Amino acid sequence: MDGRATRIQLFSLSTIPMRTFHLAWMGFFVCFFAWFAVAPLMPVIRGDLHLTLNQVANINIAAVGVTIFVRLAIGPLCDRFGARSTYTWLLALGAIPVFAIGLSQGYASFLFFRLCIGAIGASFVITQVQTSTMFAANVVGTANATTGGWGNAGGGVTQAVMPLILAAIVSLGVQQHYGWRLAMIVPGLLMVAMAIVYHRFGQDSPLGDLRGAKAASKAHPHYTAGQSFMMAARNYRVWMLFITYGASFGIELTIHNLAATYYVDHFSLDMKTAGLYAGSFGLIALFGRALGGIFSDRIAHHRGLDGRTALLFGFILCEGLGLMLFSRMDSATGALLTMLGFGLFTHMACGVTYSLTPFINPKAYGGVAGIIGAGGNVGAVAAGFLMKAAGGVQHGLFILGALVTCSAFCAVAVRFGREHKLAERAAYSAALQARDAADALSPSPA
């Protein structure tokens, strides 16, 4: 089993896999918090820097778009240098533009630093690499989905916390012109602190650092970053999941960006109520992704890899139909209920996608995770341009729903050969046997 955990013991830090599990989601949480820390402060920043609506839209698209390229690179770097070192450097270097954005004096400098901050969104890929190397086949889907979902919650927390930090600074007599700049010190410090913690307590695999793990397991030869990327890029399954992740996580990012404004403009809600409605979509990430991973691991027990792909097809199909229904709601209550409905399927589809990625090519998992992760941001960027060209948010959402529905068939296209299925079944059975053996050796409770 290469030391991989066959159980998820949330309240235990006694094993390398569980320590890494908690470090992985906390690292992603901090990165997600810093990634979107300026978003709730934009009303103040927009006025201070005299930004136009078009410039704000460009800033938002740039922050998501640059992550595509960094996610493509970060996965192979994990295969080359190890997830621990890669995460430490991303956190440390990513803190620099978070601090520096407070020095912006206009649109150009703010856009530049926002682009640089967007790179830390690649932390998701490292998180998935970490849990995929730490957990066995019977629970890897649940581990991947849970760490991803809990990390995503950082985007919701920052919406509530950053305005409070700004208010606290202003209450001390600081002008708003300086207040939002000082507020950005907080997420920067969190990233520096997390970099130190990750370097001290993180590990590449259950066997130790990358060199030790590679030497101990001949099943994982040492590939360069370029080799890892090319091995992943040559696999058509990677590009099918690239599309499904764009149709799930891409939609998730899109709804985060426009939901509050949509409720204000279309249903005439006040900003506070609209914020609560929009925030409820983000809260689903706390359990939605995990549910997707749990369901995927359960169905794999009976139907293997084919069961996982069938589940992904069903979730994305329901997501797309729900999104189209959401776009046609005439009442705020109806819109909220349908948003929660398709939102649950959206988050679960994200979880199922990354329950499949460990089985695509275990020898180049970083490359696989990086390309698929980039698909989510490609979906968000494409959706952003579609919404600008659709002539109306409601019409744009309906078109997005139709496209998502069609993309579900990419999940069906992900097929595995007999040898691939037998290898997955052997790994799953070995994980169950290892778990049962560990249970048999454990002392009975008093």
pLDDT in tens, 299-316: 998 898 999 999 999 999
Give the pLDDT confidence of 317-337 residue by residue, as tens digits.
Answer: 999 999 999 999 999 999 999
Does some domain include residue 7?
Answer: no
Does some domain include residue 9?
Answer: no
Q: How confident is the model at residue 271 (pLDDT cuts 50, 70, 90)?
A: low
Domain that holds residue 255: 16-436
Average confidence score pLDDT of the chain: 87
Average pLDDT score over residue span 425-435:
82
Percent of the chain with pLDDT over 70: 94
Q: How confident is the model at residue 211 (pLDDT cuts 50, 70, 90)?
A: low
Helix (H) or strand (E) segment spanning residue 141: helix 140-171
Q: Dihedral of CA 138/347/399/36: which sign?
A: negative
CA dihedral 9, 11, 15, 19 (to 10 degrees): 110
pLDDT of residue 316: 97
Does some domain include residue 61?
Answer: yes
Does some domain include residue 79?
Answer: yes
Does some domain include residue 446?
Answer: no
Residue whose structure tokens are 């997390």? 194
- Which amino acid belongs to residue 25? W
Q: Report which of 41, 91, 365 is spatially closest to residue 231, judged by C-alpha positions.
A: 365
Q: Calculate the alpha carbon distances from 349 to 243, 319, 356 in Å.
A: 12, 8, 11
Among 170-179, 189-198, 357-366, the minimum mean pLDDT is found in 357-366
Give the pLDDT confidence of 163-189 residue by residue, as tens digits.
Answer: 889 989 999 998 888 999 999 999 999
User: CB neighbours (10 Å) of residue 222?
Assistant: 12
User: CB neighbours (10 Å) of residue 365?
Assistant: 24
What is the radius of gyration, based on Cα positions, of the chain? 22
pLDDT of residue 225: 67
Distance CA 298, CA 58 (A): 42
pLDDT of residue 1: 53
pLDDT of residue 218: 47
Does some domain include residue 441?
Answer: no
Q: How confident is the model at residue 34 (pLDDT cuts 50, 70, 90)?
A: very high
Report the predicted TM-score, pTM, of the whole model to 2 decimal places: 0.83
pLDDT of residue 277: 81
Does the pLDDT value for residue 219 go beyond 50? no
Give the chain's domain count. Answer: 1
Average pLDDT score over residue span 199-216:
73
Q: Report which of 56, 175, 121 is spatially closest to residue 374, judged by C-alpha positions.
A: 121
Distance CA 147, CA 97 (A): 25
pLDDT of residue 366: 83
Does some domain include residue 8?
Answer: no
Q: What is the CATH number of the domain that holds 396?
A: 1.20.1250.20
pLDDT of residue 445: 45
- Residue 208 sits at φ, ψ, to 5 deg, of 120, -145
CB contact at 8 A, 184 and 94: no
Among 7-11, 128-132, 204-208, the minimum mean pLDDT is found in 204-208
Does some domain include residue 443?
Answer: no
Q: Calculate the alpha carbon distances from 280 to 33, 203, 226, 329 in Å.
A: 17, 35, 41, 17
Residue 320 DSSP class: H
- Which amino acid belongs to residue 21? F
Give the pLDDT confidence of 72-113 residue by residue, as tens digits.
Answer: 889 889 888 889 999 999 999 999 999 999 999 999 999 999
Among 10-14, 22-26, 142-146, 387-391, the minimum mean pLDDT is found in 387-391
CA angle 214, 218, 219 (to 5 degrees): 100
Does the pLDDT value for residue 431 go beyond 90? no
